[in-house]
Chain A
Amino acid sequence: MHAAIDVQNVSHRFGERVALDGIALQVKVGEMYGLLGPNGGGKTTLFRMLCTLLTPDRGTIRVLGKNAVAEAREVRARIGVVFQQPSLDARLTVLENLRHQGHLYGLKGHALAQRIEEALDMMALADRATDRVEVLSGGLQRRVELCKSLLHRPEVLIFDEPCAGLDPGARRGFWNDLDILRRAWGTTLALTTHFMEEAERCDRIGILDRGRLIAEGTPEALKREVGREVITLEARDPEALRLQIEAAVDRGVQVIDGQVRIACNDGQQLLAELYPRLREDVRAMTVSVPTLEDVFVQRTGHGFHREEA
């Protein structure tokens, strides 16, 4: 059985800027795959290729075994796409938007009405069907977007930053909706995100930075590779502190966004060892379990929320 999404050696440039550089990844059928990365990392470029809107300079992309460029029409019929920007017509009602969407996929009449009812029920939106989209809250609009992408029962759903601009409550609601969907249909999901918490909820993630896939795996495995703990120290002169620590203990020490960072398996002990020697320079110190941000930092040597140079 082929992968739901198969990206082979994809590179792309926009003029001088390299957007993607030799990306290869597979998404299995039924899997929830997250593309995590800072803005400008190449996520959206890859997303646009997956939904057949952009042709890669080099490499091939297959979705459900079909070439996303040469067989774009077949791919389009079998995927659902949720864009970062709202794709609903705010002047139309929920029902009108859904009908229009169904027509785009060749659904009509009774069959369409049934699909709409089914999707509205699944997303608990039935009582808002005749409301104009413009009067709905951001969270509800998002849910209508999801409904809309489900009408033709896509085998793969692709999202670009699904929760950008949503408040925390709506974000939780959205993830809840995705759980409902996966339980009901087992749909393959691929999404881009720059939220760690979202990436955490995926079965597997790929981390993109400056157009390259710098890590891939389950969130747990990736975090395990960093170590059991991460010590973070804040100091007036982080660079000096780093040298000091390196002289004292033989460890890999990084300075990221003005913070000194040590990944290790014995955080408590190491901190106890360092503490008496360093406290005059240090303003704050924390020991924490690694996050996906730590994975990113470890692999790239720079911070996740760094300003684009």
Chain B
Amino acid sequence: MLFWLPVVSLWRRELTRFARDRNRLFGAIGQPLVFWLILGSGFEKSFAPSGISGGYLEYIYPGTLLLILLFTAIFSTISVIEDRREGFMQAVLVAPVPRVGLVMGKVLGGGTLAFLESAVFLVFLAFLDIPISIASLGLTLVFLAVLGIALTALGFAIAWRSTSTAGFHAVMSLFLLPMWVLSGAVFPPDGASRWLAWMMAVNPLTYGMAGLRHALYFSTSGANAQLWFCGLISVGFAGATIGAAVWQAWQKK
């Protein structure tokens, strides 16, 4: 059956478009970098996260990785709105390609970009006091890949419904960014007030964030039950968002 050929073709299109757009190339990594440096250095001395030896620059580093994933996912799914308004997506819809293939191509494409951008950001590990092993690096990359796909699929599901990029921006600032802030990226759930801690507990991204932290600080000697639990939730989150994206694409307007 015709499935992987269109998926690969759509995936390659995402990468080609990205490579030809310098602004996106630097935008998705530059903004989080500035953010990380300013916020991290600003709070460095006045904020002492519990359970982490380093300062705030180190605490917010995994959060910045997640922010890069989120930004890249948003940038690449925003094109869904243009594609739908123009004929590109329509041409895909009238081709004998299952909707799942369309979603997979787009989500794998955006997910790949998110993964690559965040992986590049890992070079800054050199300036941090996090002990890195092959195992921890590998696990971190796995989490980045899973979360990149999950966030791209989430962006896709939202963008498919949006009629304008302005509407998508509204969702981004009212839903996606708070979701990131409330994932433990900026402050740990332990110290948050009760209602906020509760919101963080139901936020699936919280487990992605925690998983990413666990992966970065992974050591074979310690207990890693939490890591596997977070991994499970993250994979489930990715499955759910892909499902939502496919379901959206299935609906006839």
Task: Say yes or no: A89 contacts B88, CB within 8 Å.
Answer: yes
Specify which chain A residues have a CB less than 8 angstroms from the CB of B87 in the assembled complex: 83-88
Q: Which residues of B contact A88 (CB under 8 A)?
A: 87-88
Main secondary structure of the interface of B (DSSP, over half): helix
Give 9 CB contacts A-B under 8 Å. Answer: A55-B252, A81-B94, A85-B87, A86-B86, A89-B13, A92-B13, A96-B13, A100-B9, A104-B95
Chain B interface size band reads: 20 to 34
Min C-beta distance of A69 to chain B, whole Å:
10
A91 at the interface (CB under 8 A from B): yes
- Say whether B94 contacts A76, CB under 8 Å: yes
Option from B13, B20, B88, B93 in Cβ contact (under 8 Å) with A53: B93
- Whether B94 and A79, one on each chain, are in contact in the complex, defined by CB atoms closer than 8 angstroms, is yes
Bound Cα distance from A136 to B218, whole angstroms: 54
**B 92-122 to A, binary, CB cutoff 8 A, 1 in contact else 0:** 1111110000000000000000000000000
Evaluate contact between A53 and B252: CB separation under 8 angstroms: yes
How far apart are the CA atoms of A88 and B10 in the complex, in Å? 13
Which B238-253 residues sit within 8 Å CB-CB of chain A? 252-253
Q: In the complex, A240 Cα to B223 Cα: how many Å?
A: 96
CB nearest neighbor in A for B20: A91
Most buried by B among A83, A86, A104, A106: A104
Q: How many residues of A contact B (CB 8 A)?
A: 30
Q: Does B90 interact with chain A (Cβ within 8 Å)?
A: yes
Q: Does A259 contact B (CB under 8 A)?
A: no
Additional A-B contact list (18), CB under 8 Å, known A55-B252, A105-B96: A53-B94, A53-B253, A73-B96, A81-B94, A83-B90, A85-B87, A85-B90, A87-B90, A89-B17, A89-B88, A92-B16, A92-B17, A100-B9, A103-B8, A104-B92, A104-B97, A106-B5, A108-B5
Residues in chain B near residue A83, CB distance under 8 A: 87, 90-91
A99 within 8 A of partner (CB): yes
- B192-225 CB contact bits vs A (8 Å, 1 = yes)? 0000000000000000000000000000000000
Q: Provide the residues of chain A in CB contact with B90, threshold 8 Å.
A: 53, 81, 83, 85, 87
Chain A hits for B2, CB < 8 A: 105-106
Judge whether B189 is part of the interface by a CB distance below 8 angstroms.
no
A52 on the interface (CB 8 Å rule)? yes
